[in-house]
Amino acid sequence: MKIVVVGLNHRTAPLGMREKLAFPERSLGEALKKLLEHQHIREGVILSTCNRVEIYTVVDGFEEGKAALKDFLEDYHQMKFLEIEDKLYLYTGPEVVSHLFRVASSLDSLVVGEAQILGQVKAAYSRAHENSGTGKILNSLFQKSFRVAKEVRTNTDIAKSPTSVSSVAVELAGKIFGNLSGKKVLLLGAGEMSEITARCLSSSGVTSVLVSNRTFSRAEELAGKFQGRAVKFDKFIDEMVHADIIISSTNAPHYVIKKEDILNIMPLRRHRPIFFIDIAVPRDIEPEVNRIDNVYLYNMDDLKAVSEENLKLRQKEMERCLPIIERETAQFMNWLSSLESAPTIVALKRRAEEVCRKEVERSLLRLGKSSAAEREEISSLARRLVQELLHRPITCLKKQAGKRNGYLYAATVRDLFDLDEFEEGKEKPSEKG
């Protein structure tokens, strides 16, 4: 068994590519079902956010897992793997563990130190667990990642002066206008992202906040928290005539604002400048609106410049976090190796017995006619040689299992003796473990 993750994020792929590979919340259960139908995938969790798409798996072997993930992505998203291959990262073993711990601790976020990602990781794990996608290994890995994230946030200042994608969006608006007091802001969407945005706007002196959402009661609830006003979703275009800034973060699968909508309202605004900040993935606003005079559109990729300033400020704290990540990665891998040492020993013995059997048969054929006693003596000699040769590596595997970096012993033995095909149960890859 191997743990493997394939994914892309804000550093490796542009927004357009992340949109193509995104898994909308409403279809995540179906995606998990299709993922787990692949015979070599034993466990799976899909993490899909505005800045990353990652699939964590437990697979029969690295090559089998890689091929299964490739097939899944091609089938589910109806695209050729070659179109995205250079944007993806593929990790296995301790790299997977370290990566997830960094992700959950917000060290890999566009906005380092933001709190939302941990909730998103927990939600992804819960959805997979509900859909029978997790077993012993991913249950332990994700539960461990939650504890690591808590330790990082508790024992370092990485989350001091909390930040988020929403706060960076508001910061960008502040850079554009200088002073947000007196500006009229329209929020599209009433989820967690919009609530954080509203809180940041309020802290920045904005007093006129409109909230529009498909579920009007949610818009009313959010607007009420910030002395704002709720707008019915089929009326928000009319409100854009008077708004200075529109910040959009709905979960719509298509554009909710199109170029023709803006062309229609600009004369009514007397072509006064209007600013859009689209923090949804997939995007809410048709990119072509940016070509209209006095219309300025910013998306997730445009937030990078602002977030890089945040990264510089938190660099020292990131360095304090890394020893925690390294320590906990080693501990998890040692636990994993304690699970793997037994099947590694079994596979090693099976490998040796197979070689022994073939060589004894070959020797007996070369010898020609021989007595039963002679044949038994040759077989016995071969078995004793195998036992003697394997005694030391097997003793070391048992001794190192669970120790610091003990997983390296099992991994080395498996690679040296090419044991994957001799793993117990390998002949029945279609049976889910």
Token code pair at residue 294: 């006095």
Phi first, then psi: give them for residue 44, nearest 5 degrees: -160, 145
Distance CA 414, CA 422 (A): 10
Distance CA 198, CA 188 (A): 11
Which of the following is catalytic: 50, 321, 356, 396? Answer: 50
Tokens 């219309």 belong to 295
8 Å CB contact between 315 and 384: no
8 Å CB contact between 168 and 303: yes
Q: Residue 50 catalytic?
A: yes
Token code pair at residue 16: 């357009």
Please list the residues that pair with 275 across neighbouring strands: 245, 296
Please list the residues that pair with 9 across neighbouring strands: 52
Token code pair at residue 78: 């109806």
Q: Is 430 exposed, middle or buried (0-12, 13-18, 19+ CB in 10 A)?
A: exposed
Peptide bond into 343 cis (omega under 30): no
Please give the angle made by the CA atoms of 228, 251 and 17, to the nearest 5 degrees: 130
Distance CA 226, CA 182 (A): 15
Distance CA 38, CA 78 (A): 16
The amino acid that residue 293 corresponds to is D
Phi first, then psi: give them for residue 46, nearest 5 degrees: -110, 120
Phi first, then psi: give them for residue 220, nearest 5 degrees: -65, -45
8 Å CB contact between 1 and 340: yes
Token code pair at residue 389: 């040769």
8 Å CB contact between 269 and 261: no
Q: Specify the DSSP class assigned to residue 215.
A: S
Residues annotated as part of the active site:
50
